[in-house]
């Protein structure tokens, strides 16, 4: 079943199917309260940064936790609960929210995919961005720059830089190979840098050529 597939914990699929658990009520409650609920702030912020909408974020998080509870027997104790929850949330977002997403910049998913999958080497993006202009930026500018990225690029940056997932964990959360994580991150970072550079320029930090 599709839902079952999306809920398997990060382990190899066949393996984790074979060792489905049968937790007691007390164990379920313990897992839920001690391993799942502590991640709710990260989950809610991830959901908000995907959907840009507080109600959608709330629904996503609620749905994720309910799914996590219903399928708690496919969670392997000792594996990464946060990664498991993020994976469920990401899949819920794709399945139900993306269609009616309130993103300001609608992205043609196919186009984005084609872009990733092309073997084209990134053209070198040379920006004037400097450390001191970054240090002058305020949260709003960083937020706007991040939010302006297509959802797949935004996602890898959130998972890596805000949530500190490893490439391997990200590969499991997003169901893509590590090599794709690496290249997608690389592109995402180049795009982010470009956006930040635009802000820096608009703020008047364009003295790259005059630097000592």
CB closer to another protein out of 135 and 210: 135
Which window, 77-85, 101-109, 112-120, 129-137, contacts another protein (CB under 8 A)?
129-137
Token representation of residue 16: 């984790």
Token representation of residue 173: 């959360």
CB closer to another protein out of 40 and 203: 40
Cβ of residue 65: shortest distance to another protein, in angstroms? Answer: 5
User: Is residue 54 near another protein by the rule CB under 8 A?
Assistant: yes
Which DSSP state fits 140? H
CA 40, 62, 47: angle at the middle one, nearest 5?
60
Cβ of residue 18: shortest distance to another protein, in angstroms? Answer: 25
User: Is residue 113 near another protein by the rule CB under 8 A?
Assistant: no
Which window, 79-87, 92-100, 111-119, 159-167, contacts another protein (CB under 8 A)?
159-167
Query: In angstroms, rounded to a whole number, what is the distance separating the alpha carbons of residues 113 and 152?
Result: 9
CA distances in angstroms from 184 to 93, 105, 112, 202, listed in the order given: 19, 19, 10, 27
- Over the window 59 to 88, marking each residue x when it contacts another protein by CB under 8 A and - when it does not, the resulting string is --xx--xx--xx------------------
Alpha helices, H only, the chain? 2-7, 13-18, 25-30, 40-51, 54-70, 81-92, 109-117, 131-136, 139-147, 151-157, 167-174, 178-202
User: Is residue 52 near another protein by the rule CB under 8 A?
Assistant: no
User: Is residue 7 near another protein by the rule CB under 8 A?
Assistant: no
């Amino acid at each position: 079943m599709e839902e079952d597939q999306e809920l398997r914990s990060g382990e190899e699929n066949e393996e984790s199917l074979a060792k489905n658990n049968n937790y007691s009520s007390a164990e379920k409650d313990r897992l839920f309260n001690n391993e799942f609920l502590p991640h709710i702030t990260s989950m809610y912020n991830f959901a908000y940064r995907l959907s840009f909408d507080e109600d959608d974020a709330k629904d996503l998080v609620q749905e994720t936790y309910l799914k996590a509870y219903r399928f708690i027997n496919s969670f392997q104790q000792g594996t990464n609960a946060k990664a498991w929850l993020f994976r469920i949330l990401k899949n819920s977002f794709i399945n139900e929210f993306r269609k009616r997403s309130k993103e300001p910049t609608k992205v043609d998913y196919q186009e984005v995919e084609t872009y990733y999958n092309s073997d084209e080497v990134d053209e070198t993006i040379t920006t004037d961005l400097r450390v001191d202009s970054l240090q002058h930026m305020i949260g709003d500018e960083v937020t706007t720059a991040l939010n302006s990225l297509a959802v797949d690029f935004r996602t890898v940056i959130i998972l890596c830089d805000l949530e500190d997932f490893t490439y391997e964990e990200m590969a499991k959360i997003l169901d893509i190979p590590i090599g794709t994580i690496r290249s997608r991150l690389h592109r995402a970072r180049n795009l982010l840098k470009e956006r930040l550079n635009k802000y820096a320029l608009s703020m008047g930090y364009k003295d790259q050529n005059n630097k000592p």
